[in-house]
A and B are shown apart, each in its own frame.
Chain A
Amino acid sequence: MAGRVRLAKLYTGYTEGLTGRIYEIETAITPGIPYFDVIGKCDPSVKESGGRIKAALISSGFTFPKGRITVSISPAYVKKSGSSFDLPIALCILIASGQLKVEEGKKIYAEGELSLDGQIKGTPGAGLRLAAVSSCDYCLIPQDETRRLISDLSYMPLSHLKDISEINIDSWYTPQNSFPTVSYEADEESFVDYSEIKGQPKALRSVLIAASGWHNLLLLGSPGCGKSSCGRMISGLMPPLSVREASSVIRINEALGSEDIKTIPVRPSVYIHPGITPTRLMGSSNKLIPGEFSLADQGVLFADELCEYKTEILDLLRIPMEEHKLKHIKDGISYEFPADFLFVGAGNPCRCGLLYETDEVCTCTPAVRKRYLGRLSGPLLDRIDLYCEMRSIKGEDLKKITDKQNRDMNRELKDKVRSCWQMQEERYKNLGMRFNGRYEGADSELLRADSSVVDYAAEVAQKAGFSARGFCKLMRVGRTIADLDQRLDMKADDISEAAVYRRRI
Chain B
Amino acid sequence: MSGVNISDLEYTAIRFNTGINSRVMSDLYSQGAVNSIRDLTADGLLKLKANMSEYNLQPKTREAIENACKSDSRIREIANEYKDSLEKNGIYTISENDDDYPYLWRCLSGMPKVVFAKGKREILVQCHKKGACSVVGTRKPTQYAMYATEEFTKEIVKAGVVTVSGMALGIDRKAHETTLDSMGSTVAFMPCGPDIIYPYQNKDIYDRLVENGLILSEMPPGREVIKQYFPARNRLIAGLGDVTLIMEAGQYSGTLHTASFAANQGKDVFVLPNNIYSDNCRGGLMLLRDGAEVLLDSESVIDRIRENVSYRYEEEVVEDIYSKIKDLISIRPMSLDEIINITGDKYDLITKVLTDLELQGDVQLRRGKYILTIRS
Contacts and interface: CB of A to CB of B under 8 A. Distances in A.
Contacts of B338: 358, 396-397
B335 A463 contact: no
A493 B356 CA distance: 10
Contacts of B30: none
Contacts of B355: 460, 496-497, 499-500
A161 B342 CA distance: 72
A203 B365 CA distance: 16
A400 B354 contact: no
A349 B354 CA distance: 22
Interface in A463-483: 463
B368 A493 contact: no
Contact of B365 (A459, A463, A504): A504
B318 interface: no
A302 B328 CA distance: 35
Contact of B351 (A452, A460, A496): A496
B196 interface: no
B276 interface: no
A421 to B, nearest CB: 21
A205 B347 contact: yes
A324 interface: no
A246 B226 CA distance: 81
B341 A391 contact: no
Contacts of A396: 338, 341-342
Interface string A29-41: 0000000000000
Interface string B319-360: 000000000000000011110111000011001101110110
Contacts of B356: 496
B113 interface: no
A356 B369 contact: yes
Contacts of A362: 367
A200 interface: yes
A496 B352 contact: yes
A77 to B, nearest CB: 60
B337 A201 contact: yes
A383 interface: no
A201 B336 contact: yes
- Chain B interface helix/strand/loop/mixed: helix
Interface string A175-215: 00000000000000000000000011111010000000000
Interface in A371-429: 389, 391, 396-397, 399-400
A202 B359 contact: no
A500 to B, nearest CB: 5
Given A362-B367, A397-B341, A202 B354 contact: no
B90 to A, nearest CB: 30
B359 A493 contact: no
Contacts of A391: 335, 337, 368
A463 B360 CA distance: 9
B348 A497 contact: yes
Contacts of A399: 341
Nearest to A205: B347
Contacts of B368: 220-221, 349, 355-356, 389, 391
A400 B352 contact: no
Interface in A488-505: 493, 496-497, 499-500, 504
Nearest to B183: A452
Given A349-B368, A362-B367, A400 B351 contact: no
Nearest to A499: B355
B182 to A, nearest CB: 9
Contacts of A499: 351, 355, 358
A460 B359 contact: yes
B354 A500 contact: yes
A201 B337 CA distance: 6
Contacts of B342: 396
A504 B368 CA distance: 10
B351 A497 contact: yes
B107 to A, nearest CB: 35
A391 B340 CA distance: 14
Interface string A337-375: 000000000000100000110100010000000000000
Contacts of A358: 338, 369
Contact of B340 (A201, A452, A493, A496): A201
Nearest to B336: A202
A356 B367 CA distance: 5
A201 B365 CA distance: 17
A463 B183 CA distance: 23
Nearest to B364: A504
B365 A199 contact: no
**Most central of B335, B342, B368 by chain A CB within 10 Å:** B368
Nearest to A481: B348
B369 A459 contact: no
Contacts of B335: 202, 356, 389, 391
Nearest to B340: A201
Nearest to A497: B351
B365 A493 contact: no
Nearest to A504: B365
Nearest to A496: B355
Contacts of A500: 336, 351, 354-355
A278 to B, nearest CB: 32
Contacts of B369: 356, 358
B348 to A, nearest CB: 6
B180 to A, nearest CB: 14
Contacts of B354: 500
B348 A397 contact: no
A493 B352 contact: yes
Nearest to B356: A496
Interface of A: 199-203, 205, 220-221, 349, 355-356, 358, 362, 389, 391, 396-397, 399-400, 452, 459-460, 463, 493, 496-497, 499-500, 504
6 contacts: A199-B341, A201-B340, A396-B341, A396-B342, A497-B355, A499-B355
**What are the nearest 3 A-B pairs in CB distance?**
A356-B368, A389-B368, A496-B355
Given A349-B367, A391-B368, 15 more contacts: A199-B341, A201-B336, A201-B347, A220-B368, A356-B367, A356-B369, A362-B367, A389-B368, A391-B337, A396-B341, A396-B342, A493-B348, A496-B352, A497-B351, A497-B355
